[in-house]
């Protein structure tokens, strides 16, 4: 009996062991399946990480090239700014000589013309040789045109002088620290340099620039860099207006009116100077607006733009001056760039 019980006990234990073994096999299979899934997931994660790393290395390489290009461009702008300022200064010297001599030249001309009038009054019948020369040179026309010619020369030298001053203001070489600057002078100098693009031509009337300047103080800034920002935004506004004119005739454009509005004001509450530059061109889509300050992004055809202008402008305002540069745009109505620069 004891033997029989022992056998039954062993059989029972064997069945228990058998069940445990079956459960163990099931657990092992589940574990292997789980491990295979984890291994597959881990491999996928590794592949994704390797892909991300490759993309990151490519992006890093692109950023390094962009930074190098920006540094080269900045160095070129610095050299160019100094060169332009020097050339403007050199132009100003001979122009100053001419302007200084025009006034006495006008007086001498008036004196000579008065002397000729006296001769004609007291010697109304000159010799045939003199009369022939008077006829040949058309003395009456010379008397009428010469003062106009001198006045035109004076206006030309005045414009050269203004251009020289604008170039020197625009191309101010920035120092390591901020310096006092009149923002209105910077905007005006930029507009003067862009005047050839604003004036009327055979395809369209003049682009009207409306300036509503507020009472803003002199601010501490990097003038040359801010002038570069004004140049980029205003040049882009002109480009946008010219693009909006495509397909329209002169009369249609005149009726629509190409306008750029520049407003400045002091935001005393936030201690900011705010400059707004708005055009009435075609505006931009949301997708374009979201990328407008990205490096190398441009909507212009190949060879027409690098896509760095507004990116650099954004960097100058945000990083160099601790301000903000934002854009608002409505399709079909135009775009407005808002620059805010802290006073301190």
Q: What percentage of the chain exceeds 90 in pLDDT?
A: 30
> What distance in Å separates the CA atoms of residue 318 and residue 295, rounded to the nearest whole number?
15
Q: Mean pLDDT score of the chain, rounded to an integer? A: 84
Q: What does the angle CA 46 – CA 49 – CA 52 come to, to the nearest 5 degrees?
A: 155
pLDDT in tens, 221-255: 988 889 889 999 999 999 999 999 998 999 999 99
User: What tokens were used for 13?
Assistant: 């234990």
Q: What is the per-residue pLDDT for 307? A: 44
Q: Are 170 and 227 in contact (CB under 8 A)?
A: yes
Cα distances from 81 to residues 63, 87, 89, in angstroms, run 26, 10, 12
Q: What is the per-residue pLDDT for 342? A: 94
Q: Bin 296: left if φ > 0, else alpha if -120 < ψ < 50, else beta.
A: left
pLDDT in tens, 161-205: 887 777 777 766 667 788 999 999 999 989 988 988 999 998 899
Q: What is the per-residue pLDDT for 217? A: 94
Q: Are 200 and 248 in contact (CB under 8 A)?
A: no
CA neighbor of 103 nearest in space, from 157, 161, 38, 26? 157
pLDDT tops 90 at residue 277: yes
User: What tokens were used for 214?
Assistant: 């507020």
| 3-class secondary structure, 261 | strand
pLDDT tops 90 at residue 325: yes
Look at strands 219-221 and 259-267 and give their pairing. Answer: unpaired
pLDDT tops 60 at residue 302: no
Q: Is 177 exposed, middle or buried (0-12, 13-18, 19+ CB in 10 A)?
A: exposed
| 3-class secondary structure, 193 | helix
pLDDT in tens, 109-146: 889 989 988 988 888 888 899 889 989 999 889 888 98
Radius of gyration of the chain (CA): 39
pLDDT in tens, 282-297: 988 888 888 888 866 6
pLDDT tops 60 at residue 303: no
Q: Are 228 and 316 in contact (CB under 8 A)?
A: yes
> What distance in Å separates the CA atoms of residue 57 and residue 59, rounded to the nearest whole number?
5
Residues 312, 313, 315, 317, Cα dihedral to 10°: 160
Q: What is the per-residue pLDDT for 52? A: 86
pLDDT in tens, 305-317: 444 578 888 989 9
Top pLDDT among 7 and 76 is at 7
Q: Where are the beta strands (DSSP E) in the chain?
A: 179-181, 208-212, 219-221, 259-267, 272-279, 324-330, 334-342
pLDDT tops 80 at residue 81: no
Q: Are 243 and 300 in contact (CB under 8 A)?
A: no
> For residue 336, what pLDDT band results from cuts at 50, 70 and 90?
very high
Q: What is the per-residue pLDDT for 30? A: 82
Mean pLDDT of 4-10: 75
């Amino acid at each position: 009996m004891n033997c029989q019980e022992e056998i039954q006990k062993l059989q029972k234990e064997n069945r228990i062991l058998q069940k445990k073994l079956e459960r163990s096999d099931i657990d092992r299979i589940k574990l292997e399946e789980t491990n295979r899934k984890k291994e597959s997931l881990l491999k996928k994660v590794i592949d994704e990480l390797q892909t991300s790393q490759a993309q990151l290395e490519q992006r890093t390489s692109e950023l390094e090239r962009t930074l190098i290009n920006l540094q080269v461009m900045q160095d070129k702008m610095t050299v160019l700014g100094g060169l332009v300022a020097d050339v403007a200064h050199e132009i100003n010297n001979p122009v100053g000589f001419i302007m200084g001599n025009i006034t006495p030249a006008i007086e001498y001309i008036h004196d000579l013309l008065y002397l000729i009038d006296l001769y004609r009054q007291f010697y109304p019948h000159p010799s045939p040789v003199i009369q022939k020369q008077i006829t040949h040179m058309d003395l009456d026309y010379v008397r009428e045109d010469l003062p106009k010619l001198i006045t035109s020369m004076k206006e030309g030298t005045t414009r050269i002088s203004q251009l020289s001053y604008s170039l020197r203001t625009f191309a101010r070489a920035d120092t390591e620290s901020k310096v006092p600057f009149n923002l209105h002078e910077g905007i005006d100098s930029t507009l003067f340099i862009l005047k050839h693009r604003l004036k009327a031509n055979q395809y369209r009337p003049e682009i009207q620039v409306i300036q509503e300047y507020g009472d803003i103080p002199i601010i501490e800034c990097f003038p040359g860099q801010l002038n570069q920002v004004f140049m980029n935004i205003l040049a882009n506004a002109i480009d946008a207006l010219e693009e909006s004119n495509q397909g329209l005739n002169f009369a249609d454009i005149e009726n629509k009116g190409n306008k750029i509005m520049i407003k400045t004001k002091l935001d005393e509450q936030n201690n900011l100077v705010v400059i707004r530059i708005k055009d009435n061109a075609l505006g931009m889509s949301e997708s374009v607006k979201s990328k407008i300050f990205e490096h190398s992004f441009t909507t212009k055809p190949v060879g027409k733009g690098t896509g760095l202008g507004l990116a650099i402008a954004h960097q100058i305002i945000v990083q160099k001056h601790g301000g903000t540069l934002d854009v608002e745009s409505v399709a079909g109505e135009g775009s407005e760039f808002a620059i805010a620069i802290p006073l301190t």
